[in-house]
Structure 1
Amino acid sequence: MLSINQDKRLWFIELIAWWEGRITSSHLIRQFGISRTQAQNDIAHYQSLLPDNLQYHASHKGFLPQQGFVKTYINGDVVEYLNWISHQDAITDISTALPYTTLALPKRQVSADIIRVLVCAIRQQRRVEVDYVSVTNPDRQGRIIVPHHFVSTGLRWHLRAFCEKSQQYRDFVLSRFRGQPDLLNKTDISAAKDIGWHTQLSLTFKPDPRLSPAQQDVIAQDYQMQRGQLSLQTRACLAQYLLQEMQVNIRDINISPEAQQLVLSNIDAVKPWLFEEKS
């Protein structure tokens, strides 16, 4: 019988091989802090259990998934891989868990084939030709992008990428890619020149002043505010998403204070980074 740690490592081997197209002992060493010998033994053990899934390729210096790969330890859901990226535990020890439940939020359809190509493009710093739709442009539009990060905004996942069409770094909703993307050549374009990504912005929140002093105190205690304020750091290009997560609307002042609860104190500093304010 496998231990929980061994089972986690087999899950990890399968996860990386399936989604990233290559697994090495170095992946396991970095993830679990184990010795190289143990990592090699884990891969060998996985191969003994599922001999047709992985094959070593000297040219790639690693084990690659084979045709007919059978997913045994992973469920193959895109969310499983994205949760691992965001450092959420995809496998947990339930022996010490307390009873809890979660909201049944809607899943956004994201193609596994699209994700695998985007992962490869990020790892290898390559251009990708994609078809993309949006509410503004519901018809497919071809674009060439250079992705550099996946971004979780709470309810959905985005891709941060340089768009050659607009000549800007932009966010793309993962569920809005269509068809099969084409992996192109390597490029010098990278996250290094993404000003919005590297600019740190502080958003300062306070209780809605329309609330009574007692109500404001409740909100201040909720967020452990210091001197009646809560400051949150974020990348400038993600400021809009943070406002949405905090349920703060800086444009509609008619929302009831009991519903909004918080207001943004430093609007002038934040506004230039919001979508509607940018050209």
Structure 2
Amino acid sequence: MKETASFAWDTWARYHVIELLAYWEGRVTASALREAFHLGKDRAQQVLRVYREEVAVDNLVYDTSRKAWMPTPQFTPYFIRGHVDEYLHLLGTHDALNPQFVGLGLGAANTESVPMPIRDVSPEVVRAVVSAARERQRLEVLYASFSSPRGEDRIIAPHTLVYAAGRWHVRAYCEKNAAFRDFVLSRFRGVPEAIGDALPAAAQANDEDWENRLILEIIPDRRLSDAERELIAQDYAMEEHMLAITCRCALAQYVLREYGINHRHVEGDPRAQQVDLGNREALRQWLY
């Protein structure tokens, strides 16, 4: 295969997406390429054919039951680094590619950003979670937590992959708790195993904290002077000293974390705190 840098930019980008989907989701379809690049059906199929036959002949094999191209055991990435941040960028740019994903999307694009630490998330875990969410299946997982640092067996039924507060989570129904919970993907041990269809109770429509939304009223810290509060209001484009953010109830804690608001702790120096939650009491039930 010729050097990847020698490909035209649009060709390189398409092969990049093919490898990202194969590596992180475990499947690639022509419809995904059509969605990502607004290609016609024939053109999308041609891109896949050229990649398979001329670029990376041992990377993909067709699964007739799933009607998708799957990575082979010999899969070798040429157009990706294998870092989870690449996959996050793809989903954040192309919302329709994976309906089982949601990011907070709080800020506008910047010319420069501070790099965040890359959490260790295995592609095998992501593939299993995305597949289970898509197919509405149960997963048997070994999950580590502060109460069980070495891991505890759980049976979950995921419905949405979430990137928030610098970490990957999955929103899932937990059969142990008989309730919906957030699970951090870097705390999964081993590869989750699909064990059949999800229970009726695990349907996303039953996740009330996910389906319902609330409004966070972000305000300048009341301890600041009038001039300082006005400055903060301008920094955050507030209207009448308040920024209203609508979000899913289940994601409220993550949005607040992005704004440096901790409902259990307030900085002693208001200039360090800067902003606060104005309707804290009304939302207390969603602040864990």
Calculate the TM-score normalised by the size of structure 2.
0.86
1:39 pairs with one of 44, 48, 67: 44
1:230 CA drift (Å): 0.7
Instruction: Map 1:161-240 onto structure 2 (within 5 A).
Output: 161-187=172-198, 188=200, 189-240=202-253
**Residue 15 of structure 1 corresponds to which residue in structure 2?**
20
**Residue 167 of structure 2 corresponds to which residue in structure 1?**
156
1:88 CA drift (Å): 7.5
**Uncovered stretches (5+) of structure 1, i.e. residues with no partner:** 90-98
Per the alignment, in what secondary structure is the counterpart of residue 192 of structure 2?
Answer: strand
Q: CA-to-partner distance for each residue in 1:146-173, whole Å, 9 max, x for gaps?
A: 1111111132111111100001100111
**Uncovered stretches (5+) of structure 2, i.e. residues with no partner:** 1-5, 96-109
**Residue 6 of structure 1 corresponds to which residue in structure 2?**
11
Evaluate the alpha carbon distance shift between residue 20 and residue 105 of structure 1 in structure 2; reply closer, same or farther with a 3 A threshold. Answer: closer
- The alignment yields a C-alpha RMSD, in angstroms, of 1.9
8 Å CA contact 1:148–1:191 kept in 2: the answer is yes
**Residue 64 of structure 2 corresponds to which residue in structure 1?**
58
Paired-residue identity, %: 40
Worse-superposed segment, 147-156 or 99-108: 99-108
CA distance in 2, matches of 1:64, 1:108: 25
Instruction: Map 1:237-248 onto structure 2 (within 5 A).
Output: 237-248=250-261
Evaluate the alpha carbon distance shift between residue 108 and residue 232 of structure 1 in structure 2; reply closer, same or farther with a 3 A threshold. Answer: same
**Residue 87 of structure 2 corresponds to which residue in structure 1?**
81
8 Å CA contact 1:239–1:270 kept in 2: the answer is no
2:147 pairs with one of 136, 143, 153: 136
Per the alignment, in what secondary structure is the counterpart of residue 93 of structure 2?
Answer: coil
Calculate the TM-score normalised by the size of structure 1.
0.89
Evaluate the alpha carbon distance shift between residue 253 and residue 4 of structure 1 in structure 2; reply closer, same or farther with a 3 A threshold. Answer: closer
Evaluate the alpha carbon distance shift between residue 231 and residue 66 of structure 1 in structure 2; reply closer, same or farther with a 3 A threshold. Answer: same
1:100 CA drift (Å): 5.6
Evaluate the alpha carbon distance shift between residue 108 and residue 44 of structure 1 in structure 2; reply closer, same or farther with a 3 A threshold. Answer: same
Per the alignment, in what secondary structure is the counterpart of residue 262 of structure 2?
Answer: coil
Evaluate the alpha carbon distance shift between residue 76 and residue 249 of structure 1 in structure 2; reply closer, same or farther with a 3 A threshold. Answer: closer
Code of the residue aligned with 2:273 in structure 1: it is Q
Code of the residue aligned with 1:165 in structure 2: it is K
Are 2:32 and 1:27 equivalent residues in the alignment?
yes
8 Å CA contact 2:34–2:40 kept in 1: the answer is yes
Are 2:249 and 1:249 equivalent residues in the alignment?
no
CA distance in 2, matches of 1:88, 1:22: 17
CA distance in 1, matches of 2:85, 2:212: 28
Q: How many residues align?
A: 266
CA distance in 1, matches of 2:63, 2:167: 36
**Residue 126 of structure 2 corresponds to which residue in structure 1?**
115
Displacement over 6 Å in runs of 4+:
none
Evaluate the alpha carbon distance shift between residue 203 and residue 54 of structure 1 in structure 2; reply closer, same or farther with a 3 A threshold. Answer: same
Q: CA-to-partner distance for each residue in 1:47-100, whole Å, 9 max, x for gaps?
A: 1211111123333323222221111111122232233223379xxxxxxxxx96
Code of the residue aligned with 1:54 in structure 2: it is L
1:126 CA drift (Å): 0.6
Per the alignment, in what secondary structure is the counterpart of residue 28 of structure 1?
Answer: helix
8 Å CA contact 2:165–2:257 kept in 1: the answer is no
Worse-superposed segment, 172-181 or 215-224: 172-181
8 Å CA contact 1:77–1:112 kept in 2: the answer is no
1:106 CA drift (Å): 2.5
